[in-house]
Structure 1
Amino acid sequence: MNRSELGAALRALRQASGTEAKTVARSSVMSASKLSKIETGKLSPSADDVDRILTSIGVSDEVKAEYMEAARAVATEATAWRLIQRAGLHKAQKQLQAVEADMDLLRVFQPALVPGLLQTPEYMRAILSRHDDLTEETVRRTMSARLERQEVLYDEDKTLRFVITEPVLRWLIVPTPIMAGQLDRLISLTRLPNIDLRVVPLAGAQRDIPNHAFVVRDDRSVSVETVHAKVVVTDPRDVALYVAKFDGFAEHALSGEALKPFLEGIRDDLVRQRESR
């Protein structure tokens, strides 16, 4: 089944259910225009898009399993950041919030920045404000939506695993006081029972290369962040590659009782460096 055939099948299922397109689009957290492009084969849907559409239509578990398998087979979706920005960064955050509400297990690997779910408002603003093409209103709305997403951190029914590399905590892309506050935030989050935060230290031999950031939601999909685009991978064979890479870094990262003094040491180093200038 190719993209056009999948879109036509989804449209036929919707029409057979008697559900209006605008109703399906609304409950699927997408615009009516996007749903129309999916149904006409002009846009390849992600597995999450198909999941939400089928849930909205109310198909049986058997039918849903069949079409989800087809969706994963055809969907490796790349969306340029400029298009995501044009549609609204705050809307992208809302879509992520909807996806995260349905998941049980989140794995985040980040070698460049503190993951969005763990960011303080100050860190968040500093990162977003670096982009000259973002207006103050865009920054404000995106921050508000991302902070709403952070409510998932306190849902003990979900397991949230984060692996970051030590340079993330030392790379002063934000002012030192903001980074120090961010480190305090990370220390406090390690106390939450459903959060597993780990840091890959620079000291010692490494067994893998931290190519780029990626997010694995359950074992269903992977979001990969490149310079120009966000790529969503849903083929189970490819998802397994990312899970293995995540587990490899997690195995050799600091966690638990060893992590707190490590984070406190980096924070204190940053503060001392600032005071000595």
Structure 2
Amino acid sequence: MNKGELGTALRALREGSGKEAKAVARSAVMSASKLSKIETGAIAPSITDVDRILTALGVSEAVKTQYMAVARAEATEATAWRLVRRMGHYRKQQQTKALEAQMRLLRLFQPALVPGLLQTPEYIRAVLGRHDLGADQLSRTLGVRIERQAVLYDRTKDLRFVISEPVLRWRILPPPMMALQLDRIISVSRLPNVDIRIVSLAAPQTDFPNHTFVIRDDRLVTVETVHAELAITDPRDVALYIRKFDGFAGLALAGKEARALLATIRDEFLREQETGEAPGE
């Protein structure tokens, strides 16, 4: 089986399982028309599409390994953000939620924004505001993004975040709301299955942040660029990202030290609100 035959093979698997296309599509977080196009070869499925379809079908690990190897024949895929806008940002959030439901280990490095799973509703609105969404799209996307945060309280999952200090100082919101956002991070950091580390500006560094990336288990890395999201599955490339994450995590502040830095920056925002002066003025 090659990648061009994958859609037909997935249809055969579904028909053999006795499951209806609509039910499989719903479980795989995609439209029935998209599943139909994949099964007929009209469109090529992405790696995450194949993963979700196989999970919805409930196939064995051996079968899943075989099919995923075919899906990974191309080690890197790019999905342009314009296609995400066309699909609907809330559907992208639903797809991410499905991936997070299946994973056991998440490692997220963020040098630009507070990670989505840690964002307050106000911060989410500010981030989504750059996409020029209509009121309905904004409401639906915000709702799904907040729903995704339930994964933080699933103790079967190991969630690790490494955030650079400038992220905490980036003025996405007015000072009092930024203070609430930092309080949110402090609170989540106390969950037993969550590890939040801060790369301090005071610490000597031998590496460079480059960009945001997320590692799910040891099999999939997603990277956000200006024009697209990249999905990387080649084990050699995944290993590079794991080493980069571990390097920053090893130098970052953790536990009480991380919370102390978060509290210091929070208090700076609160003093600014009270005095009307930004730090350093």
- How many Å separate the matches in 2 of 1:59 and 1:125? 38
Structure 1 segment 1-277 matched on structure 2, within 5 A: 2-74=2-74, 76-131=76-131, 133-274=132-273, 275-277=275-277
Moved over 6 A (4+): none
Structure 1 residue 102 displacement after superposition: 1.3
- How many Å separate the matches in 2 of 1:207 and 1:44? 41
Structure 1 residue 253 displacement after superposition: 0.5
Query: Which deviates the most, 6-15 or 98-107?
Result: 6-15
CA gap of 1:126–1:61, structure 2 versus 1, over 3 A, is: closer
Structure 1 residue 75 displacement after superposition: 5.1
- How many Å separate the matches in 2 of 1:211 and 1:42? 36
CA gap of 1:43–1:233, structure 2 versus 1, over 3 A, is: farther
Root-mean-square deviation (Å): 1.8
Size of the alignment, in residue pairs? 276
CA gap of 1:61–1:127, structure 2 versus 1, over 3 A, is: closer
Structure 1 residue 203 displacement after superposition: 1.3
Percent identity between the two aligned chains: 64
TM-score if structure 2 supplies the norm length?
A: 0.91
TM-score if structure 1 supplies the norm length?
A: 0.92
- How many Å separate the matches in 2 of 1:143 and 1:246? 28
- Contact residue 162 and residue 249 of structure 2 kept, 8 A: yes
Give the partner amino acid of 1:163. V
- Contact residue 89 and residue 138 of structure 1 kept, 8 A: yes
Structure 1 residue 238 displacement after superposition: 1.4
Unaligned runs of 5+ in 1: none
- Contact residue 3 and residue 70 of structure 2 kept, 8 A: no
Structure 1 residue 250 displacement after superposition: 0.5
- Contact residue 97 and residue 148 of structure 2 kept, 8 A: yes
CA gap of 1:181–1:233, structure 2 versus 1, over 3 A, is: same
CA gap of 1:22–1:256, structure 2 versus 1, over 3 A, is: same
Query: Which deviates the most, 190-199 or 27-36?
Result: 27-36
SS in 2 for 1:259: helix
Structure 1 residue 39 displacement after superposition: 2.8
Unaligned runs of 5+ in 2: none
SS in 2 for 1:222: strand
- How many Å separate the matches in 2 of 1:273 and 1:199? 22
Give the partner amino acid of 2:215. V
What are the superposed Cα offsets for residues 115-154 of structure 1, whole Å, 9 maximum, x if unpaired?
A: 00000111111222233x2112221111111111101111
- Contact residue 123 and residue 172 of structure 2 kept, 8 A: no
